[in-house]
Structure 1
Amino acid sequence: MENQIEPREQGVLSHLMALERSGMMQPDPHQSERLQMLKVTAMTLRAKRDQLKQQTHTIKILKDKINKDLPLDDDVDAAGFVELQQSLLTAWRMQLKDLQRAHHLTGGYDLVECKEGKSVCVSFHTAFDGVYLDTYNMELDLMRTVQISRHNIPRSFPLESFAKQNLQKDLKGFLQTVSQNLNALAGRRQQITLIKELIGSVEVMESNQLCNILVLMCKAQGETPVAVLCTLEYEDLTRCLPTRVHIESEDETLPESPQWKKNQSLLLESPAHTALLTMRRMGSIV
């Protein structure tokens, strides 16, 4: 029996070895085609990667030259400059479209493209206590780097400082900062107007253009009315409320009295005209 099985096993092994050699000699044509396609795709992606690296390097060099006001020497620089302009314009337009969509959610300013997308006009709307106040306009030039070409924002407003901080690296942050500060300025101005209109017994002694310092003179109720100076300081220009209130009087004991400590808190926590009306209603001032 053993002599009969052994030749069969050898025949099966030989047949398997022959099939294996046949498979190695004749690879799957579909697999070969897929491998070839992958190789071509890999070569295309490498070429694209190298091209993008070169373009990025060229644009970086050109942008550095422009920022440093260096001359563009040859045709290569000139061609690259055109490409840089197109790239920057495309990037700014995409960012502006995002800002336009965000405006519908946050408000505060409007954006309108002009000069065929080479610049954008921004309108900043200000309001206080539900009342619309002033509107300020600014045009941004999007060629090369973003620049403010013109505006009607007050000269005392720190616009240049905000531009240096955020205009180039964070356009959205720059616009939000300007909007927030303009709105707070309008709110502080409106409070001064309301004090003059509503409370004739209170005199505005001093106020600067940014309205971040306000000195008010009022008279404390009593048998003999005593003059009181209230100095409101607004260190945070994004707010309509003061960060510090200082009380002075001919009566040196008055600022430390419980009633005027309460009045000081009112001036810190409420708009100035509202606080003064409350103080008059409580009998603290004439």
Structure 2
Amino acid sequence: MESANTLCQGRECKGGVLVHLERLEDQMNRPSTKSEELTVHTKESSLRTKIHELQRQRDKLRAELKRRTAFEGNLLDSYFVDLVIEKPLRIHHHSIPVFILLERIDTEHLQTDTQCFLFSLCEYLNTYSGRKYQTDQLETDFSAFLTGPLQRNALCNLLSFTYKVDQGHQTFSFSATLLYNDLTAALPTGVTVTCPGAET
């Protein structure tokens, strides 16, 4: 007990020798914790620097190609293709609609002729956007003549609608189907018009 009191002379002793010993041990451990924190901080800083350098190198090896589609002077949708510039060239990610045959265009042209790849892709995108634009225009500008909903698939290469024509005091209804077999054409390759109720 006396030794405990001698350690606490000149100040209040709280908890005795064991508590004082714990405090001393804790103080001894703190500098190593601070040095560990410094080491961890240095490692984190080094890793951050490496990450930024690798991101910079990666960005040097990539090219983002953006394309805005147009039809009859109207700017339409924008698309992009992010290419990794290394052998072999590859597409990292893109915003091309899934029904555009990007994989086929990639296989046919990307490794051999990048310019042809871009031209072919732009041709598909422009005609798709053009068909979509024409379909939207038909629905809005000629809605008074349509007698039902205009039906189209996602690629807008198959359209079906019914419309009416006023001839004097009579109104005739016609059903039309437009088929675009050539996905790079803005005009349909096949048109079928029928008059419901008429004898065939």
TM-score by length of 2: 0.65
By how many angstroms is 1:245 displaced?
0.5
2-structure distance, mates of 1:157, 1:148 = 15
> Superposed, which structure 2 residues align to 1:229-240 within 5 Å?
229-240=175-186
Correspondence for 1:281: none
Distance 1:220 1:155, change over 3 A: same
3-state secondary structure, aligned to 2:176: strand
1:182 corresponds to which letter in structure 2?
Answer: L
3-state secondary structure, aligned to 2:150: strand
Q: Is residue 2:150 matched to residue 1:150? A: no
Q: Is residue 2:171 matched to residue 1:225? A: yes
Correspondence for 1:269: none
By how many angstroms is 1:205 displaced?
3.0
2:166 corresponds to which letter in structure 1?
Answer: Q
3-state secondary structure, aligned to 2:198: coil
2-structure distance, mates of 1:131, 1:186 = 10
1-structure distance, mates of 2:177, 2:133 = 17
Structure 2, gaps ≥5 residues long = 1-57
Structure 1, gaps ≥5 residues long = 1-113, 256-286
Correspondence for 1:184: 127
- Given the alignment, which residue of 92, 97, 105 partners 1:162? 105
Correspondence for 1:207: 152
Indicate the structure with greater strand content. Answer: 2
- Is the contact between residue 226 and residue 251 of structure 1 (CA under 8 Å) also seen in structure 2? no
Indicate the structure with greater helix content. Answer: 1
Q: Is residue 2:193 matched to residue 1:247? A: yes
TM-score by length of 1: 0.46
CA-based RMSD: 1.8
In the alignment of these two chains, the number of paired residues is 140
- Is the contact between residue 220 and residue 226 of structure 1 (CA under 8 Å) also seen in structure 2? yes
> Superposed, which structure 2 residues align to 1:88-127 within 5 Å?
115-116=59-60, 118-127=61-70
Give % identity.
29
- Is the contact between residue 233 and residue 243 of structure 1 (CA under 8 Å) also seen in structure 2? yes
3-state secondary structure, aligned to 1:126: strand
Greater relative contact order: 1 or 2 (C-alpha under 8 angstroms, separation 6 or more)? Answer: 2
2:137 corresponds to which letter in structure 1?
Answer: L
1-structure distance, mates of 2:121, 2:139 = 27
3-state secondary structure, aligned to 1:180: helix
2-structure distance, mates of 1:250, 1:154 = 35
1:256-278 per-position Cα deviation (integer Å, ceiling 9, x unaligned): xxxxxxxxxxxxxxxxxxxxxxx
